[in-house]
Structure 1
Amino acid sequence: MKKIKLLAVTHHNRKNINPIRPEASQIIGLHHSGAVDVTVLCNPGSTLIPYFEQHGIKVITNALDKKVSLQTIKLIREYIKANDIDILHLFNNIACSNGATAAIGTKAKVIAYRGQTGNVSRWDPTVYLTMLHPRLDKIICVANAVTEDLQQHIWGNKDKAITVYKGHDQSWYQNAPADLSGLPLHDGSFKISLVANLRPRKGLHVLMDAVQLLPEDCNLDVLLVGADPESQAIQEMIKRSGKPQRVHALGYREDAPEVAATCDAVVLPTTKREGLCRAVLEANSYGVPAIVSDTGGNAELVADGITGIVVPPSEPQALADAIMTLYKDRALCSKFGVEAKKRVIEKFNVQQGVDKTLEIYRNLLAN
């Protein structure tokens, strides 16, 4: 059978490979399937280049730093034509705006990636360069909630949007838990973590309000990964908890999964626009359960009352109650962690993502 010729376009410059590993593993899995001839176009400084090359994948580079670049469009268009590309798979907005435009008038089927709910409107002209680009044949969404949200805005065939869960591999989560001995943690405390920033939708303020509602004698430590301890705004947010000695801003960490591994639970109190949260999948892969708000794909990640707890968004009391449920019942917390790890292995593994993506490729090319 003739191999599918794939050009995957992506852009990454983070030192920490964890956020981008699921995407790369899907591309590598397609390559190793024997059904796809893969070329990757990425930025010259991409962390992923050696990762791809060690698996025998051809890599070409371009800056990929402009939403619309005539030079990038020309490069992609010429590559599609010269190499008889069947599938153009675009993994972010810059890739989409340039790649989908480059594919106009070619035979290539064009697929985009969508990672979160919200921020799409038919009345926003810039969206017609990305998620509503008329040249897109398919949009692979990271969760059903993302698919359903996008389908409200797509013109015509709503089935253009389809769900494929990102895949995680347990071999990525074999490191020892992070060494937190330098932090002023309390002996025997119940530790929770949040990958935190000050964007309101991430819900740091909700967690701080929930901590304020907890009993004064609650032996708890809250770890805010990514929160700059030197930031006045972060310090004000910590004061809002009413228990500043219990809340610790850790700053940027490349070992966020290992920090989660030291905890009893992780919290994701997003108020809106969530996809399939990487931090939850990473914690679950270490056997650590999560408390999440019911936004975006969170409720698909966490089976409420089985692998963790799902609470209404923007309700500090509900979040505080959930924290206390696990705080008071450590056996239940541990049980949730065991079940969460099993759920990641069974439902969010790399192979399911590769298989579903390959099925999408074949269906597009059959039509």
Structure 2
Amino acid sequence: MITPSRLGGAERYAGWFCRWQKDSGHKSIIAMKRNPAVEAFYRGLDLDVRIVGISGKVNIFASGRLRALIRQEQVDIVHTHLSSATVWGCLAAIGENLPCVAHVHSLNKRAPYSFASKVIAVSEAAKAHLVRQGHKEAGIEVVWPANADPPGDAEPAADLVSLGPLVITCAAHLRESKGVLVLLRAAKKVIEEIPSTIIAFAGEGPERWKAEKMAKQFGIEHNVRFLGFRTDIHAVFAASRVAVLPSLAPEGFGLVLAEANALGIPAVASNVGGVSEIIEDGKNGILVPAGDVDALASAILQLLKDEELWLRFSKMAKEKSREFSFEKSALDCMNVFQNLTKSK
């Protein structure tokens, strides 16, 4: 069960995991509120998608609708993603005497997850955040997410290749907490030193218009590209020199950093939340304080100017990315399910 507002990391992982379950011989149904982009992604994976009115945390019909679906399909276990789905999924599961596993993809408030039989957190940071709020540590398993589509030898995106070899890519939802404007301020400093640098934003969001306006104010609009939402993220990173995630708020994990590392692309990222579980400072990337424009610009310039450093980080990035196996991630989730159904 999932209540998506956009096609982000949580939504992608939920779809990949359901596809893996289907390929492994399990019956998996996605119950979700209506969202055309996410629904299309799931149907593209050939998943059984049911649109159910479960949006919002004040919805007197949501639990009943889910209970009806559970009975109709003879469900054995409920797996929820995102907070509203967790509220209604847990209530429905309790009503039907079923276990409910709640997947925590960010540093959330504890309340929606209080009634879950088990919580799966995407990072040690996400787990620690819940424990600090009073959630029992034994009730949380950490399972790192991963991309189900290995990058292989991804062909670089042609539209980025044409821009030259110094493309800095930020793949994120363009909202304030992702540090979009911080990156542009840093980009101004980088471009002053290396005028051929291109800053590419892969994603959409409410900060885009502010970012476009700022780029013009700084006189760097010809060095900035807004790519929109991209489904070819491997190709985008394959054409990039550096991946950047300048988040201002704690990240639950930061899947795009692992995706970039899998292609040998070093990253510069804010040292927030679970990011340090992917990026080891000085090994496969550089961590900087959130919101520090000078530190961000300096780190990017290091990786643009120092070829030996870039090559060393690139090698370590590929090695680190092997820790993020989708097969292991899926099996670890299934182990949680099986332990709950055995004890039922």
Counterpart residue identity of residue 143, structure 2 = V
TM alignment of 1:185-204, pairs within 5 A: 185=163, 189-195=165-171, 199-204=175-180
Counterpart residue identity of residue 26, structure 1 = F
Residue among 320, 334, 337 paired with 2:297: 320
Q: What is aligned with 2:52?
A: 62
TM alignment of 1:273-284, pairs within 5 A: 273-284=250-261
Residue among 155, 160, 168 paired with 1:176: 155
RMSD: 3.2
Q: What is aligned with 1:358?
A: 334
Measured at CA, do residues 113 and 216 of structure 1 come closer, stay the same or move farther in structure 2, by a change above 3 Å? Answer: same
TM alignment of 1:241-280, pairs within 5 A: 243-280=220-257
Q: Report if the CA contact (8 A) 1:211-1:242 is conserved.
A: no
Q: What is aligned with 2:2?
A: 10
Residue among 65, 68, 73 paired with 2:63: 73
Q: What is aligned with 2:286?
A: 309
TM-score by length of 2: 0.84
The worse-fitting range, judged by mean Cα deviation, of 219-228 and 311-320 is 219-228
TM alignment of 1:229-248, pairs within 5 A: 232-239=209-216, 243-248=220-225
Calculate percent identity across the aligned residue pairs.
26
Counterpart residue identity of residue 302, structure 1 = I
Distance in structure 1 (CA, Å) of the matches to 2:42 and 2:205? 30
Residue among 26, 29, 42 paired with 1:39: 29
Q: Which runs of 5+ in 1 are unaligned?
A: 1-8, 121-126
1:177-207 CA-partner distances (Å, limit 9, x unpaired): 2222797x4xx55221113555332112322
Q: Report if the CA contact (8 A) 1:90-1:111 is conserved.
A: yes
Q: Report if the CA contact (8 A) 1:272-1:295 is conserved.
A: yes
Q: What is aligned with 1:104?
A: 94
Q: In proportion to residue count, which structure has more helix?
A: 2
Q: Report if the CA contact (8 A) 1:196-1:225 is conserved.
A: yes
Shift of 1:231: 5.9
Counterpart residue identity of residue 76, structure 1 = L
Measured at CA, do residues 288 and 90 of structure 1 come closer, stay the same or move farther in structure 2, by a change above 3 Å? Answer: same
Shift of 1:233: 1.9
Shift of 1:295: 0.4
Q: Report if the CA contact (8 A) 1:10-1:43 is conserved.
A: yes
Q: Report if the CA contact (8 A) 1:191-1:222 is conserved.
A: yes
Q: What is aligned with 1:5?
A: none
Distance in structure 1 (CA, Å) of the matches to 2:206 and 2:63? 42
Distance in structure 2 (CA, Å) of the matches to 1:101 and 1:170? 34
Measured at CA, do residues 115 and 13 of structure 1 come closer, stay the same or move farther in structure 2, by a change above 3 Å? Answer: closer
Shift of 1:232: 5.0
Aligned length: 339
2:1 maps to 1:22: no
TM-score by length of 1: 0.79
- Give 1 or 2 for the bigger CA radius of gyration: 1
Q: Which runs of 5+ in 2 are unaligned?
A: none
Distance in structure 1 (CA, Å) of the matches to 2:57 and 2:219? 44
Measured at CA, do residues 241 and 356 of structure 1 come closer, stay the same or move farther in structure 2, by a change above 3 Å? Answer: farther
